[in-house]
Amino acid sequence: MHAVLRVALADAERMDLVPRNVAKAANPPALGRAERRALTPEEAKTLLSVLTGDRLESLFVLALATGLRRAELLGLRWSDVDLPGKALFVRQTLQRTDRGLEFVPPKTHRSSRPLPLSTLAVRALESQRVRQAKERLAAGEVWSDLGLVFASTIGTPMEPRNVNRRFEQFRATAGLEWLHLHDLRHAFATFLLDQGEELRTVMELLGHSTIRMTADTYGHVLPARARQAASAIDRILGEEGTA
């Protein structure tokens, strides 16, 4: 609220509507940040095992393997996917507006991004293409050819809330009642940081607007990285340090 008021009053001050921006003189309260519980690799494998064979299996696997947001997954088109090149491109998202479900551009210029695909992600997309071909054949003339990777059984955009409801069923089966669909995005980032990937690389893959946003969100992973760095100094300078 303070940030919004500060910007609004800055505009008002520039337009000579107010004598000064009083929000700049106010000290906003410090915001505490609750540490988000991270999905462990073992829990991720358990989740993947209960997804096997479900119609939305590939969607959830891709969420975990790429860190894509729900809106980005539901807006993904086959024309945005390059399976031979093992990459996909985020060019539109599916959002619910006052007019219903609509395709809109990504939220920021960094959100509109190319993403390299792991073998796990490529296999999920290949399985989805086969599954969708069968659904398209079964639907016949009622199929809506929008080119969506993840669509309803007749090719139309999927209702985002239904995707969440289906995921909630899977998390209960896996014994992960605390897990939300968006947590798969955070698991993707945490796994990469744990494996030593650079913060800027993770920022670019997630489509964050600034590296500070990435650092603030995943700061809980960085202390372990710092300990690894200290150990690296011991390995490099150990002999000199004991001389």
Our answer to whether residue 182 is catalytic in this structure is yes
Our answer to whether residue 69 is catalytic in this structure is yes
Our answer to whether residue 227 is catalytic in this structure is no
Q: Which two tokens stand for residue 85?
A: 């090149």
Between helices 199-206 and 183-194, what is the axis angle to 10°? 150
Q: Which of 79, 82, 95, 69 is nearest to 208 (CA)?
A: 69
Q: Which residues sit opposite 114 in a β-bridge?
A: 89
Our answer to whether residue 235 is catalytic in this structure is no
φ/ψ bin of 57: left (φ > 0), alpha (ψ from -120 to 50), beta (otherwise)? alpha
User: What's the residue count for the chain?
Assistant: 243
Q: Name the catalytic one among 107, 110, 166, 225.
A: 107
Our answer to whether residue 186 is catalytic in this structure is no
Is the CB of residue 206 less than 8 Å from the CB of residue 231? no
Our answer to whether residue 136 is catalytic in this structure is no
Q: Name the catalytic one among 123, 129, 182, 225.
A: 182
Q: Name the catalytic one among 70, 171, 186, 208.
A: 208
| Active centre residues (catalytic) | 69, 107, 182, 185, 208, 218
